Amino acid sequence: MNTDLVAQRFAQAQSSYEQQAIAQRRVALELIQRMQLHVPPHLQRILEIGCGSGLFTRQLMQHYSFDQLFLNDLYPKVKQHFDEDARIYWGIGNIETLPLPQSLDLVVSCSALQWVQQLEALFLKIHQALNPSGWLCFASYAHDNLKEIKALTGQGLDYLSLSQMVELLESCGYEVLIQEEQHLILEFEHPRDVLKHIKATGVQANAEGFRWTKSSLQQFYKQYQQFQLPGSQQYPLTYHPIYLIARKRP
């Protein structure tokens, strides 16, 4: 995966992301609600992977108190979405190659880990950075995510299933306390609106070398009709979020 391209696509979408990220906003709320069932509200050191425009970060800061919050993303312009705060520290770059802050109480990520290429290596690196019984909580996506787009264009990520993710976490030394998945269906008036949504959120940031032509767009619009909901004039787009609340085994 070209991480420079991923960063570029998300940077291009940053001005429109907040308005268009309907599913991601719902996922952020769902993740914070699940965290509150297990993770104590007062922590010292937190790392968030892939903070983006701060959609999840704001939920985190609203519901949790902390001494230090380390924020990570691929490109430095994300900083403009955050107010000055002496508790916030930045780590810009690919989380797979960046050194992690140590003695962490909590590592969180919302709608970002699906971009990680070597997930096992990252989970092990996080495990080393966590305090004993520290928390790893995240929302990512599974195989049905944006399935309509992948069916028509062949473009999309390869996702782990929920059970595969649980197995991977357990093999890396975590106890999984919550494992859940959902299907969120967004509806649009026309297939072109589906494409506008995808561009505005950057979720197809891996589509390197893929270019639309007038004829391929028309074919896409026509073929997308097969997904039209029965008795509806709307066109669906599927999101398949998964939620994991895990704890480092003592």
For residues 142 and 23, which has the higher predicted lDDT (pLDDT)?
A: 142
Answer whether residue 215 is part of any domain. no
Residue 194 pLDDT class (50, 70, 90 cuts): very high
Residue 230 covered by a domain: no
224 found inside a domain? no
Q: Is residue 201 part of a domain?
A: no
In this structure, what CATH number is given to the domain that contains residue 130? 3.40.50.150
- Is residue 71 included in any domain, yes or no? yes
Q: Which of 48, 114, 42 is nearest to 78 (CA)?
A: 48
Confidence of residue 24 (pLDDT cuts 50, 70, 90): confident
Confidence class for position 208, pLDDT limits 50, 70, 90: low
Number of domains in the chain: 1
User: Does 237 have pLDDT greater than 90?
Assistant: yes
| Residue 166: inside a domain | yes
Q: What is the pLDDT of residue 205?
A: 43
The whole domain housing 115 covers 3-145+158-187+238-248
Query: Is residue 77 in some structural domain?
Result: yes
- Per-residue pLDDT at 207 exceeds 70: no
Model confidence at 176: pLDDT above 90: yes
List, in order, residues 6 or more apart from 239 with CB less than 8 Å away.
Answer: 23, 27, 141, 145, 146, 183, 184, 185, 186
Query: Is 98 in contact with 125 (CB distance < 8 Å)?
Result: no
Q: What is the pLDDT of residues 160-171, one digit of tens each?
A: 999 999 999 999
pLDDT at residue 181, as a whole number: 98
- What is the reported pLDDT for 196? 86
Average confidence score pLDDT of the chain: 89
Beta strands in 19-129 (DSSP E): 45-49, 68-73, 88-92, 104-110
Residue 225 lies in a domain: no
Residue 53 has pLDDT above 90, yes or no: no
